[in-house]
Amino acid sequence: MNKTNKIIVGIIIVVIIIAGVWYRIEKNSIEEEVIKIGGAFALTGDAAEWGQGDLEGTQMAIDEVNMGGGIDGMMLKLIAEDTQTTAIGTVNAINKLVNVDGVQAIIGPTWGDSFQGGVPIIQQYKVVLITPSAAIETVLDKEKYEYFLSTYFPQKGEMLRIQKYAFSKGIKNFVVVCDLDPFNKYFGDLFISAAPQNDLAVVKLFEVAREDKDFRTIITQIKNLSIKPDAIFFEVATATQVGTFAKQLKEQGVVIPIWSSSSFEDLSLEVIKNFQKDLLDDAIYTRPKVAVKDFAQKYFEKYHKEMMRPTVSNAYDATMAIIETLKNGARTGEQIKNELYKIQIPGVTFKEISFDQFGQVSGGEFFIKTIKDGEFIVLEE
């Protein structure tokens, strides 16, 4: 290689080094100009409908703030991971968001049966986790989980709504059938413990595995109970279980209405589609109200579809709660956590977003609804 070529090669090497340094500086500068918010959503698996709603509500809030100029001139960036509706998937998603992406706050995870494996990670690294679709009442040792909060509806308020409606209609004796999903089991236990206070009686509890799809033995036992139930409070995780149970009830000639909670409508949509249109006629269930009436219209304008997914507004509220802390100057997980326990801001699901000492929002109102020939009808507002 002659001297001229050596000079040219040397210049090229220097240019490459300078370009590399410039790229790293520019990359870091760009990263510093955005505030990252993590999302741990069930985009696949049993909770995919809920997870998609969580994602859409979160993105709505972030886009809204970015269109207004961001926070202190910095744009918000959502980094979403799929939890796959499993405990392992949730741990992997949270671990990646915390240790690779370096987020200080995460919206999610979807559903309550899979989040607990991720709690030690957020506690260790002091990263905030707000779930829009899991009730914090199902968490054991809540006092240890100061970085875990929820904008899902408090289960006690929902249970009280449906029990008071039952009493007003002369429905007194219930059989409770629930699976061992933490949310469903807690709701079943709550229903049983509160029944006497609301002048109701639970004549029998049946607990089933989440995978169970054969309820014929249970239905036979229900038929043979000495105290005949007026209704069956049925709380399970999958549409297949709902459809199979209703089908087997009819096959055995049992005419007892099914009652349930707010997730029932979403499961029923699948049952009506995949089983038969009138299979769930006369079922009674709760459905949450959204405090801000035009939120559904805003959702339609953004996504060009009706807001059918259950926790879009809850995810929007969770994200806005995080954003409020960022506006107040919080940047680390600990700062965000401390601010969250102080905020009082308007919500779209709830009239006000504020958190109690356990990280749970308060309030929430519910319709009482039924199903007629595949249509969902409000019975009482």
Domain shared by 297 and 323, yes or no: yes
Which residues neighbour 149 within 8 Å (Cβ) at sequence distance 6 or greater? Answer: 128, 129, 130, 131, 136, 318, 321, 340, 355, 359, 360
Within this chain, do residues 41 and 122 fall inside the same structural domain, yes or no? Answer: yes
Q: Do 122 and 172 have their domain in common? A: no
Residue 167 and residue 162: Cα distance in Å, rounded?
9
Find which of 18-32, 187-201, 348-362 is predicted with most confidence, using mean pLDDT: 187-201
Q: Do both 142 and 41 map to the same domain?
A: yes
Residue 54: closest CA among 153, 157, 152, 145: 152
Would residue 123 count as lying in a domain?
A: yes
Span 270-305, pLDDT tens digits: 899 988 889 999 999 999 888 788 999 999 999 999
Instruction: State the pLDDT at residue 369.
Output: 97
User: By the 8 A CB rule, do 313 and 295 touch?
Assistant: yes
Q: pLDDT tens, 206-215? A: 999 988 889 9
| Measured distance CA(188)–CA(207) in Å, rounded | 9
Q: pLDDT digits over 157-188, tens only?
A: 999 999 999 999 999 999 999 998 888 998 99
Query: Does residue 101 lie in a domain region?
Result: yes
Give the range of the structural domain holding residue 232, as residue numbers without chain letter: 155-261
Residue 139 buriedness (CB in 10 A; 0-12 / 13-18 / 19+): buried
Q: Which residues contact 106 (CB under 8 A, 6 or more apart)?
A: 37, 38, 39, 40, 94, 97, 98, 122, 127, 128, 129, 130
Q: Could you tell me if residue 284 is inside a domain?
A: no
Q: Please, which residues have CB within 8 angstroms of residue 121's CB and are 6 or more apart in sequence?
A: 91, 94, 95, 98, 127
**N-to-C CA span, the chain:** 87
136 and 162, same domain (yes or no): no
**Is 113 part of any domain?**
yes
- CATH number at 174 reads 3.40.50.2300
Number of domains in the chain: 2
Nearest-5° Cα angle at 225, 220 to 231: 85
Tell me: do 47 and 144 sit in the same domain.
yes
- Pick from 149, 49, 131, 37: nearest CA to 90: 131
**pTM of this prediction?**
0.81
Domain final residue pick, 215, 242, 261: 261
Please report whether residue 11 resides in a domain. Answer: no
Please tell me the least confidently modeled range out of 20-34, 64-78, 336-350: 20-34
212, part of any domain: yes
Which residue, chain included where needed, has tokens 């979160």? 58
Q: How many angstroms separate the CA atoms of 133 and 267, rounded?
A: 15
18-64 per-position pLDDT tens digit: 544 444 444 444 445 899 999 999 999 888 889 999 999 999 999 99
- Within a domain: 28: no
* Residue 202 confidence (pLDDT): 98
Residue located via tokens 């807690």: 186
- Pair 110, 40: CB distance under 8 Å: yes
Q: What is the pLDDT of residue 22?
A: 46
The CA-based angle 168-170-172, given to 5 degrees, is 110
User: CA 348 to CA 352: how far, in whole Å?
Assistant: 8
Give a yes or no: residue 301 inside a domain.
yes
Is there a single domain that holds both residue 181 and residue 148?
A: no
R_g (Cα) of the chain, nearest Å? 25
**Is 159 found in the same domain as 147?**
no
Q: Are residues 224 and 248 in contact, defined by beta-carbon separation less than 8 angstroms? A: no
pLDDT band at 363 (very low <50, low <70, confident <90, very high): confident
Same domain, 39 and 107: yes
Are 182 and 196 members of one domain? yes
Tell me which H or E stretch contains 250: helix 239-251
149 with 48, same domain: the answer is: yes
Q: Select from 316, 321, 310 the least CA-distant residue to 288.
A: 310
Could you give the CA distance from residue 37 to residue 122 in angstroms, rounded to a whole number? 14
Number of Cα atoms under 13 Å in the Cβ half of residue 206:
23
Calculate the average pLDDT of the chain. Answer: 89
Confidence at residue 12, expressed as pLDDT on a 0 to 100 scale: 47
Tokens of 1: 């290689």
For residues 229 and 328, membership in a common domain is answered with: no
